Structure 1
Amino acid sequence: MATEIIFPLLSGNTSMDLVNTEVVSHGTRHDLLTSKEHVLAWFNTIKKEGNISRDQFNMDIELWANDALPLLRELRSFLRDGYEKSADGKELTPDWNTHLELLIKRAPFMYQLKNDQLIPIPIGEPDDALISIIALDALKILSSNQLSKIHRCANPECVLLFIDTHGRRKWCSMKICGNRSKVTRHQQLKIK
């Protein structure tokens, strides 16, 4: 029986959730998107969280998840580079948002009103549609001036990124790294 993959959803942003599909465990970096099954699991996870809607896709994901895998990994690498630069206080070049805009052009949007919410519906192949939704999310982060609020986890072994909206957060998550740090600090105090 395959073990369930738990994806760290730290921000409510699909693009950040994609970047955080690379994690470190026991000192080794792990890619959580290496197969069609992983794409299905990630898609279903972000759908369950409400970051995407089934209504945004014209085909069952089982039919196109394999095609989406290399596109997702390529976009993840691109976004990670930009988000890490932002976390390090560096400016992104205009090419960054131009690239995202070009990805959206491959599956541009129309809009539908569903349950009193305006939902962007990408027009194009489903794998391009997913990429378009993620690129739109990244551009929303850029346009809302949240790039400057992107931070790296205070745990030097962690590769997860998060958006700090209050200016006080240090950890990717208390569950993932914050509590570990507290336990380690407590253990060290007991030894002294």
Structure 2
Amino acid sequence: MTTEIKFPLISGNISIDLVNTEVVRHGTRHDLLTKTAHVLAWFYTLTRDDIIFKEQFGEDIEQWADDALPLLREMRAFLREGYEKMADGKELSTDWITHLESQIKKAPFAYQLKKNTLMPTPIGKPENALTSLIALDALKLITSNQVSNIRRCANPDCVLLFIDTHGRRKWCSMNICGNRSKVTRHQQKAQKKQ
């Protein structure tokens, strides 16, 4: 029996959502991208939520998902290191930006009109197209200065990252960690009253 993988799409940014394919459940860190089936599930989750579009890729994902897996895992490790530095108040190096630019060069962009918006369509191998879109998203976060608002979840056991647009957010998601914290506080107050 297989269970559906639940990917925490809490940012709306594909580069952060890639980083968030590593989660902690019941105190254990889990990698949600360990096999080709996971790449397919993640891809279909992203297309369902209109984060990416099938039209951005020349071939069906079933034909290239296996080749995409090691590239995605490498990109995730690279992005996690940089994003966690930013969350800790450190600066990104110019080498970090240069690496993202080199990923885009592997599949540079043309554009199509979709839903009254210009949709970047990478030209190149589909697996490079996916990492190119992820690199573009990361560079957009830098140029819009949103990368400076990347935060770690206040739950010390959580590894998820998010963008704090209002300066008040503490949790990766109320559904994931925020409610757990509220329940724990409520239980502690109830125990003190006894």
TM range (shorter): over 0.9
Counterpart residue type for residue 99 of structure 2? H
Instruction: State the distance in 2 between where 1:42 and 1:166 align.
Output: 28
Identify the residue that residue 184 of structure 2 maps to in structure 1: 184
Counterpart residue type for residue 88 of structure 2? D
CA shift at 1:114, angstroms? Answer: 2.3
- Do structure 1's residue 127 and structure 2's residue 164 form an aligned pair? no
Partner-residue secondary structure (3-state), 1:12: coil
Identify the residue that residue 60 of structure 2 maps to in structure 1: 60
Pairwise CA RMSD: 0.6
Identify the residue that residue 81 of structure 1 maps to in structure 2: 81
Instruction: State the distance in 2 between where 1:62 and 1:148 align.
Output: 36
Runs of 4 or more off by more than 6 Å in structure 1? Answer: none
Identify the residue that residue 13 of structure 2 maps to in structure 1: 13
Instruction: State the distance in 1 between where 2:37 and 2:118 align.
Output: 30
Post-superposition Cα deviations, 1:69-118, rounded to whole Å, max 9, x if no partner, equal: 00000000000000000000000100111000000000000111123211
Instruction: State the distance in 2 between where 1:73 and 1:115 align.
Output: 31
TM-score under structure 2 length normalisation: 0.98
Instruction: State the distance in 1 between where 2:161 and 2:112 align.
Output: 32
Post-superposition Cα deviations, 1:18-40, rounded to whole Å, max 9, x if no partner, equal: 00000001111000000111000
Partner-residue secondary structure (3-state), 1:159: coil
Partner-residue secondary structure (3-state), 1:187: helix
Counterpart residue type for residue 176 of structure 2? I
Post-superposition Cα deviations, 1:16-68, rounded to whole Å, max 9, x if no partner, equal: 00000000011110000001110000001011111101110000000100000
Gaps of 5+ in 1: none
Instruction: State the distance in 2 between where 1:169 and 1:2 align.
Output: 34
Identify the residue that residue 101 of structure 1 maps to in structure 2: 101
CA shift at 1:161, angstroms? Answer: 0.3
Gaps of 5+ in 2: none
TM-score under structure 1 length normalisation: 0.99
Identify the residue that residue 148 of structure 2 maps to in structure 1: 148
Identify the residue that residue 159 of structure 1 maps to in structure 2: 159
Instruction: State the distance in 2 between where 1:166 and 1:47 align.
Output: 27
Instruction: State the distance in 2 between where 1:112 and 1:45 align.
Output: 22
Instruction: State the distance in 1 between where 2:3 and 2:94 align.
Output: 41
Instruction: State the distance in 2 between where 1:179 and 1:51 align.
Output: 26
